[in-house]
Amino acid sequence: SSGINAEWPLRPGAKFANASNNDNERYAELWMGTHKKGPSVVASESLKLTEWIRASPETRLGPNARFISGNDSELPFLFKVLSVDKALSIQVHPNKSHAEELHQKDPAHYPDANHKPELAIALTEFEAFCGFRPISEIISILSNHPEICSLLSQDLKLIVSGGEVNNEKAFIKAILEIFFSQENLSEIIYKELNAKTDLSPDDKLFLRIYNQHPNDRGLPVVFLLNHITLQPGEAVFLGANKIHAYFRGDCIECMACSDNVVRAGLTPKFMDVDTLVSMLDYTPTSKEEQVMVPQTHGPITSYLPPVRDFGVERIAVGGNEVIIPAKPSPQIVICTEGNGTVANGDSQVPMGPGTVVYIIPGVQVTATGQAVLFSSFCQAE
C-alpha cells in the first residue's frame, strides 16, 4: 500500500497508512493497487505489486481483469482509504473517450487515458457535495443573495423572481458560467454574510469552507450543489461528468485505475474551468438520489456500481466463520476495524486495522475473529 501526503493533520482513518510509513508524516490517502503514482508493494517479497503480477499474470491477474486493464501487470481498479479534514477540490471525471482526448491534448495535466468512475463508502460521518441541487433550491438561494442576483442578466433575474425554468440544464450552466467569470465573488459573498445576522445553513457552510479556502474563485459553486452527509456504511457512486467535492470525514473509495481529474476550485492544483463547464452533467437531482443502495446478504454488503471495472463488499466478521467467495478477478481486502484472520487451507494471515491482503482469482478464503473488512474486485464475468 502507498500513503499519499496531505496538506492537513493526520485523521483517525489515515492511521491505516502508518503500518508501513513514518508515523510523523501526514497522510490523506492510502492507495492499494497498481497505479503508477502509488503502486502497492508485496511485503513478503519486497516487490511492487505490478512486478509480482507480471511474473505470473494468468494466475495472479486472471483473464477478466487482464481484458479490462489491457495489460499483464495492472489491476483495472484502484482501492483507497481517504481521510478528509479540509474540503477537497470541486472536480469531475471524464468518460473513457474524453479521457483519451484530454490525455492526447495535454498529457502533463492529464497523465491518464482512462476514465475514473468512483465509489465512496463512509467509514465515519462523511460530508460531500454531489451533483446539482433541484432548481427550486437553487432559485431560493439566489433569491436570498442580492449580491449574486445583481450579476445576473435580465432574463436570468426574471427566472429567479418568477421561479419558472423552461430549460433547467441551461439555467444551471448559465449561473455557473457567471460564477466562474467573477474573480472576487467569494470575497463579495463573504462580506455580505458577515454583515447578516440571520444566516441560513447554506450560508454557514459557505463560511466554513471560506475559512479553509479564502477568496477561492470556485467556492460560490457550492451554493448550486447538493450537500450530503453520509452515515457509516452509506455510499455515493460518481459516474462520468458528475460534479462533486469531498468535505469532511473518512471513507473507503474505489475507482477505475486512473487519477484523471478536471478541477475548478478549492485547490492549489491545476484548474481547467473551461473543460469542466463544457463537460458537466447539469441534471438537477435531490440529495436522496445521490445515495447508493447496497445489497446485503448475511454478513456481506455489496456495493455494485454500473461499471465493470470494480465493485466493493463490506464483510462483517463477528465470531462465526465468514466465507469470502472466490471471484473471477483478484480481490484486495483491507481490515478497517477489529482483529481476525483470513485463511485459505494452511495459509493464514492475521488481520488488524490497516492490514491489506491480495487474493488471486478463483480462490475462496475464510475470515474469523471480530473485524470489519472491505474487499475490492473487478465485476467483469
Return per-residue pLDDT of the chain as tens, 381 residues. Answer: 443 333 333 343 445 555 445 556 667 889 999 888 888 888 888 889 999 999 999 999 988 877 877 788 889 899 999 999 888 889 998 888 888 888 888 888 888 877 688 999 999 999 999 999 999 999 999 999 999 999 999 999 988 888 788 899 999 999 999 999 998 999 999 999 999 889 999 999 999 999 999 999 899 999 999 999 999 999 999 988 999 999 999 999 999 887 778 888 888 888 888 888 999 999 999 999 999 999 999 999 999 999 999 999 999 999 789 999 999 999 999 999 999 999 998 889 999 998 999 999 999 999 999 999 999 999 966
Q: In this predicted structure, what is the pLDDT of residue 63?
A: 85
- The Cα–Cα gap between 289 and 35 comes to 31
Side-chain-side CA neighbours of 281 within 13 Å: the count stands at 17
pTM: 0.91
Catalytic residue among 248, 263, 308, 314: 263
Q: In this predicted structure, what is the pLDDT of residue 320?
A: 86
Residue reference for cell 445515495: 291
Sequence-separated contacts (24+) of 200-205 with Cβ below 8 Å: 200/141, 200/144, 202/141, 202/227
SS3 267: coil
Look up 217 and say whether it is catalytic: no
Rg (CA), the chain: 22
- The Cα–Cα gap between 128 and 253 comes to 13
Q: In this predicted structure, what is the pLDDT of residue 100?
A: 84
Q: In this predicted structure, what is the pLDDT of residue 35?
A: 84
Q: In this predicted structure, what is the pLDDT of residue 174?
A: 94
Q: What is the DSSP letter of 2?
A: E
In sequence order, the 6+-apart residues with CB closer than 8 A to the CB of 246 are 82, 84, 87, 88, 120, 126, 127, 128
Q: Using an 8 Å Cβ cutoff, are 10 and 26 in contact?
A: yes
Q: In this predicted structure, what is the pLDDT of residue 16?
A: 59
